[in-house]
Structure 1
Amino acid sequence: MSAQPPADRPDVSRATSDGFVRGLSQAIGGPLGAHAVPPESRPGRFWTAPRIVMALACLILAFSWVQKSPCMDGNWQNNVQYTRYCYTDVLALYYAEGLNEGKVPYKDHQVEYPVVTGYFMGVLGLPVHAYGEKNPDINQGSWFYNANALVLSLLAVISVAIVLALRRRRPWDAAILALSPIVLLTATINWDFLAIGLFAIGLLLWVRRHPLWAGVLFGLGAAAKLWPLFILGPILILALRTGRLRPFFGAFATTAVTWLLANLPVMVLWHESWLRFFRLNSERPIDWGTFWYIGRYFDGKWNSGAAGDQGPFQWLSDHVPTLNYLSYALFGLSCLAIMLLGLLAPRRPRLSQLAFLVVAAFLIFSKVWSQQYVLWLIPLIALARPKWGAVLAWTVAEIGYLAAFYAELMGAGGKSVIPEGTFVLASSLRLITVAVLCGLVVREIWRPELDDVRVTYGGIDPDAGPLDGPEHPWITGLRRFFGMGPSQEAPPPPVIPKDEPSPVPS
């Protein structure tokens, strides 16, 4: 009997829906034929696609722990933390933030991170210090790193599981996050998976139509790192297109209240410590590898022969407040452009597409783009545009930047490792590949028939949550004002057999 999928169920095989994977599949005989039985369809089979993806995620995180092992003792001699790519802020800041002396974050020492990250550091660091006082033979830094690595890895596995839950009919999309070499190298460089995990749980709650609880998780995520707050903009765009603002206002209110409640103890009791994060980000100059850093390099090249001449990027480097305003303005203009795109697109964009564009725009125009910030984008691109070719090109550029960045850090000691131009090239390639991903996402928003996720789910947005449904008539009027036709109504959801998972997680 034929194992061909029924007419109302699109073929979601990665080897047929993704051109890059289809090309690679030729090495093992090509995509599955019309009469082949997919492994996940065989009754009683344990190793289904979701379980394979989860196992691979655990394996990659275990390799990540091994990859960081040369740095765990804290004996960073001869730049071992850079030559072996095992540097981690987690270990370095155990000492720099005074946790090794039992200092309470914010109370005894001004922590440079938002409060939820500071709480996380204290909850794990202070017991390690107390245990180390009673057992002086242990390496406190190593224990602290391992405790953090365990929790952060658990949050990474949860994030993969949530991507799987959000794409039940496309489980291999989650492999973009689970198998990423970027995760292997950067998962525990800093505490970014704390914010990613909170954001992912919030997104799952949103999709399951719990906007108030989703806001609680978004607020906690924003109190750990700023970027989870940006999801409110894409939610607003979808709310405007559907005319249903109540879920947006509910999520917005609980996000704001949660953020305030998380910050309030430190804000009131140790106000100067609370301001440390905001002041540091306001005062920080142009950081390595950013758009502004690249511009300053070319300014120096073009004005090297003119004494006293200063290009615009060099001038901004000396006038940080103006740089801040310009960076915020460019990000704000990007958000305005994304809003116009979201409102004028032929069909309502998917939430993850808009979220990816907002976070990517923030990174492109930010004056700080730390090496681990790339982790913010991986789960979003897995949801927004799960096509492996462009993602792998971007991954190669990110790994190249990481190698060049560590070479720059070694060169900061006075002995040049690579020419400055090589580092600028690596930085440029990273920026360009992220911009290309943004362009590809924009293309699929404007031409929804090219969106594989939308095709798989019968034209609907599986992440819309409480904003799923017909569009408000005012969108048609807006499009006509700009000389466009009426928006395309999404087709009705496909009829799914009873034994098949629902397109929208429930």
Structure 2
Amino acid sequence: MSAQPPTDRPDVSRATSDGFVRGLSQAIGGPLGAHAVPPDARPGRFWTAPRIVMALACLVLALSWVQKSPCMDGNWQKNIQYTRYCYTDVLALYFAEGINEGKVPYKDHPVEYPVVTGYFMGALGLPIHAYGQDHPDINQGSWFYNANALVLSLLAVASLAVILALRRRRPWDAAIFALSPIVLFTATINWDFLAIGLFAFGLYLWVKRHPVWAGVLFGLGAAAKLWPVFILGPILVLALRTGRLRPWIGSMVAAAVTWAVVNFPVWYWYRESWLRFFRLNDERPVDWGTFWYIGRYLDSKWNTGTAGDQGPFQWLSDHVPTLNLLSYALFGASCLAIMLLGLLAPRRPRLSQLAFLVVAAFLIFSKVWSQQYVLWLLPLIVLARPKWGAIIAWTVAEIGYLAAFYAELIGAGGKSVIPEGTFVLASSLRLITVAVLCGFVVREIWRPELDDVRASYGGVDPDAGPLDGPEHPWITGLRRFFGQGPSQEAPPPPPIFKGEPATLVGN
């Protein structure tokens, strides 16, 4: 008699595999028993796990809108944007970029963001300005923020739907994203969910074995914020391990062509405006809360020499071109280390694990780490290592940093709120918790038996897409060259019952 094939139904062992969740479950009687009927298996049930998670996300995004409401009228007196944690670039840049005056991004004003973000700002802002010309009683800034908040919230929900689609056997993992205070406080600080949404749909298309279309989405994401294109590095590692480079080449070429096409109009007609983003990033000094900022502070405390002496971080702060080169070099070295880890690991790493490590390395060594950049890591860590305990500790550190950052901004205006050392401590805790998450992900790559996501999917990578399958024999030779044993062959992926298609939000 043949064995019953595994399904794509939810994995009900979540409270058993996650120690943090197992502990919380004791309050309601402990984990689900081996012979209990899971709620999602009951026929006719409307509130399934994916729908509950989606509803929770909508609630958090609605609360996020309420949390930003004190700043919506643009009357930012007495530092209300910092004391109420409601600051948003969306409203500030509506005026700073001249959209409130009807200026077309790049044509009439050199926008400081990549072109897809600039297009997005203009597409929402210029109609609102035109409407405001005929209706002078409306608050254009408030309308602009609300329009952006609506679209960005829809993109956040769409990103969550992708996470649910990619983890149909583990829908409660997506609750980490849906309930995150990070989303509550930072969802609409900037236009980051535009890039996150494009990246999420690109990843979905990759998993569904459409590498060229995935590349198109990655290219659009890179034209909104740079980081989505970093996914091509982890995909290359998987391609090398399987010996199938064609999907990676197709995705890479599509991303490059898409990025060039959407950039071309601004590059051709408004060259100086197009260059502003690159020049601004090249010239920017050390920013708040970065690795370099922490080092400069420690230099100032430890340097007891003459007034002309400088520590290395202080020197780098005064020599920005050298700082740029060192930052890029450290990120490049991190990428090479991640590639080596991916090639030498006992089993082919999961795509989301490598992607998280690459984006985290970029942030750790970047000279700019804005408060909303935390959103880049959130969906990746949910896919890479959905363990509540470590993610909650990281979230607390991120929220603590946000509070310290706003206090520091108030202090910069002349009213001291916290000592500089307190802000540096908050910055250090944020950096340390991200590094700890990286360490946990590396450990599960090197010891795949600890990877709960892999276990839920029969030992395979659910995100491998067109690179799913056996590894190329050359990997065994490479591992032996470095003194490692033969790679562990992954079992074949579990089949999915017909009639259960992988949709964006499962029932």
Contact between 2:165 and 2:504, CA under 8 Å: does it hold in 1? no
- In structure 2, the residue matched to 1:489 is 489
- Residue by residue over 1:266-288, the C-alpha shift from the partner in whole angstroms, topping out at 9 and shown as x without a partner, is 00000000000000000000000
Q: Could you tell me how far apart the structure 2 residues matched to 1:273 and 1:131 are?
A: 26
Q: Could you tell me how far apart the structure 1 residues matched to 2:218 and 2:473 are?
A: 30
- In structure 2, the residue matched to 1:478 is 478
- In structure 1, the residue matched to 2:165 is 165
Question: Is residue 278 of structure 2 the alignment partner of residue 266 of structure 1?
Answer: no
Contact between 2:70 and 2:86, CA under 8 Å: does it hold in 1? yes
Give, in angstroms, the shift of residue 66 of structure 1: 0.3
Contact between 1:241 and 1:472, CA under 8 Å: does it hold in 2? yes
Q: Could you tell me how far apart the structure 2 residues matched to 1:492 and 1:258 are?
A: 34
Contact between 2:287 and 2:368, CA under 8 Å: does it hold in 1? yes
- In structure 1, the residue matched to 2:82 is 82
- In structure 2, the residue matched to 1:64 is 64
- In structure 2, the residue matched to 1:378 is 378
Contact between 1:208 and 1:505, CA under 8 Å: does it hold in 2? no
Q: Taking structure 1 as reference, are residues 226 and 145 closer, same or farther at Cα in structure 2, changes over 3 Å only? A: same
Contact between 1:327 and 1:367, CA under 8 Å: does it hold in 2? yes
Q: Could you tell me how far apart the structure 2 residues matched to 1:397 and 1:500 are?
A: 40
- Residue by residue over 1:398-452, the C-alpha shift from the partner in whole angstroms, topping out at 9 and shown as x without a partner, is 0000000000000001121000000000000000000000000000000000000
What are the ranges of 5 or more consecutive residues in structure 2 without an aligned counterpart?
none
Q: Secondary structure at the match of 1:308?
A: coil
Question: Is residue 103 of structure 2 the alignment partner of residue 103 of structure 1?
Answer: yes
Contact between 2:124 and 2:144, CA under 8 Å: does it hold in 1? yes
Q: Could you tell me how far apart the structure 2 residues matched to 1:50 and 1:314 are?
A: 50
Give, in angstroms, the shift of residue 308 of structure 1: 1.5
Q: Secondary structure at the match of 1:153?
A: helix
Give, in angstroms, the shift of residue 493 of structure 1: 2.6
Give, in angstroms, the shift of residue 32 of structure 1: 0.8
2:316 partner amino acid? L
How do 1:402-417 and structure 2 match up within 5 A? 402-417=402-417
- In structure 2, the residue matched to 1:21 is 21
| TM superposition score normalised by structure 2 | 0.97
- In structure 1, the residue matched to 2:445 is 445
- Residue by residue over 1:18-63, the C-alpha shift from the partner in whole angstroms, topping out at 9 and shown as x without a partner, is 1110011111111111222111111100000000000001110000
Contact between 2:164 and 2:504, CA under 8 Å: does it hold in 1? no
How do 1:343-492 and structure 2 match up within 5 A? 343-492=343-492
- In structure 2, the residue matched to 1:331 is 331
RMSD (Å) for aligned C-alpha atoms: 1.8
Q: Could you tell me how far apart the structure 1 residues matched to 2:403 and 2:234 are?
A: 34
Give, in angstroms, the shift of residue 303 of structure 1: 1.1
Q: Could you tell me how far apart the structure 2 residues matched to 1:333 and 1:12 are?
A: 40
Q: Taking structure 1 as reference, are residues 425 and 161 closer, same or farther at Cα in structure 2, changes over 3 Å only? A: same
Give, in angstroms, the shift of residue 495 of structure 1: 5.5
What are the ranges of 5 or more consecutive residues in structure 1 without an aligned counterpart?
1-5
Contact between 1:155 and 1:194, CA under 8 Å: does it hold in 2? yes
Contact between 2:107 and 2:270, CA under 8 Å: does it hold in 1? yes
1:413 partner amino acid? G
How do 1:35-50 and structure 2 match up within 5 A? 35-50=35-50
2:459 partner amino acid? G
- Extract structure 1 runs of 4+ deviating beyond 3 A: 6-12, 494-506
Give, in angstroms, the shift of residue 498 of structure 1: 5.7
Q: Could you tell me how far apart the structure 1 residues matched to 2:415 and 2:5 are?
A: 65
Q: Secondary structure at the match of 1:100?
A: helix
Q: Secondary structure at the match of 1:104?
A: coil
Q: Could you tell me how far apart the structure 2 residues matched to 1:67 and 1:280 are?
A: 31
Q: Taking structure 1 as reference, are residues 502 and 452 closer, same or farther at Cα in structure 2, changes over 3 Å only? A: farther
Contact between 1:463 and 1:504, CA under 8 Å: does it hold in 2? no
- In structure 1, the residue matched to 2:203 is 203
Q: Secondary structure at the match of 1:330?
A: helix
- In structure 2, the residue matched to 1:92 is 92
Q: Could you tell me how far apart the structure 2 residues matched to 1:500 and 1:110 are?
A: 49
